[in-house]
Amino acid sequence: MRAPAFWTKDGVAGKVLNPAGVIFGAICRLRWCWTSPVSLSVPVICVGNLVVGGAGKTPVALSLGERLRRNGQTIHFLSRGYGGTERGPYRVDTRFDIAANVGDEALLLAATSPTWVSHDRAAGAKAAVAAGAEVVIMDDGYQNPSLRKDLSLLVVDGAYGFGNQRLMPAGPLRELMKDGLARADAVVILGVDKVGVRASLPNHLPVLTGRIVAEPGNLRLAGKRVVAFAGIGRPGKFFELLQELGCELVESQSYPDHHMYRENEVFVLAEKAAKLNALLVTTSKDAVRISEPMRSMCDVLTVTVSWDDESALDKLLSLLGS
């Protein structure tokens, strides 16, 4: 879905829809009251956010997984598989699975570590443990009360923050800020804090900062003319990243988050790029939603998280074993 413009700043539309947001918030609270979370024999890390849209959860989850693997721990990812038909629990197989059945994020995660798709998060986590997981990392699921989390990280886009701070559909919030922040062990602010995110957080809450950056292998794109397209939560962040890399952005095209590309859509974009003497570039999350024959027409920008204080992150992760 595309986030409505009025979610960014408070206005008439948000105020009119606020009663519906109040009802939504009450339902969220009741869900937590009615559910008894399942505890696992291994640590569970949840990487989530409070708003609808792209905050950078998957890159953060991948970064945590890489650090824990370097420490010798066997990690499994757990995803709802948004956009896919598989309900799970199901272990993703990158040789055969496509985004239409397991979702795009699950495919990105599975390229690095065993990944489970499960609408029932507790059942998916149990399957992961049975398969040898020593740590389970949830990509999203912060608002899901069925599984007890040992470490909960809230990821926030520093340029967007919490929008107008109203609950859906009046705003982008998935739950009341005070409820979500009360369960957080730390907040991760990605990018420059342009909207006062840190000032809106409780003083006792640890804050980690970092930014999404292009991986070194993408330097081949520097100085190139590019036609860029993306169907992610905030496509503008991708276009800005290309420009920071030194690309000449001659044209850009945005699609809804999790958009499943038709072959003719990609073909038209490729033709346009050729006419403009430019490369056709997209994100790794978009690339897995493009059919294999058409994927070869695109360059893919891969990203990672650059942490401002890696020692603070390692200290937080070290608490899992205590």
The domain segmentation of the chain, as residue ranges, is 24-208+309-321, 216-301
Contact 50, 162 (CB under 8 A): yes
Q: What is the pLDDT of residue 286?
A: 97
Q: What is the pLDDT of residue 235?
A: 94
pLDDT in tens, 49-104: 999 988 899 999 999 999 999 999 999 999 999 999 999 999 999 999 999 999 99
Spans of the chain, pLDDT less than 70 = 1, 321-322
Q: What is the pLDDT of residue 3?
A: 78
**CATH no. for 216-301:** 3.40.50
- CA dist 178 → 44, 165, 166, 183, 202 (Å): 22, 11, 12, 9, 9
Contact 124, 78 (CB under 8 A): yes
Give 24-208+309-321's CATH code, choosing from 1.20.120, 1.10.3470, 3.40.50, 2.50.20. Answer: 3.40.50
Shared fold status for 24-208+309-321 and 216-301: yes
Q: What is the pLDDT of residue 9?
A: 86
Q: What is the pLDDT of residue 4?
A: 87
Q: What is the pLDDT of residue 322?
A: 57
Q: What is the pLDDT of residue 177?
A: 96
Q: What is the pLDDT of residue 144?
A: 95
Q: What is the DSSP string of 11-54?
A: -HHHHHHHHHHHHHHHHHHHHHHH--PBP-SS-EEEEE-SBSS-
Q: pTM of the predicted model, to two decimals? A: 0.95
**Pairing state of beta strands 248-254 and 207-214?**
unpaired
Q: What is the pLDDT of residue 270?
A: 97
How far apart (Å, rounded) are the C-alpha atoms in residues 172 and 253? 23
Of 172, 222, 203, nearest to 49 by C-alpha is 172
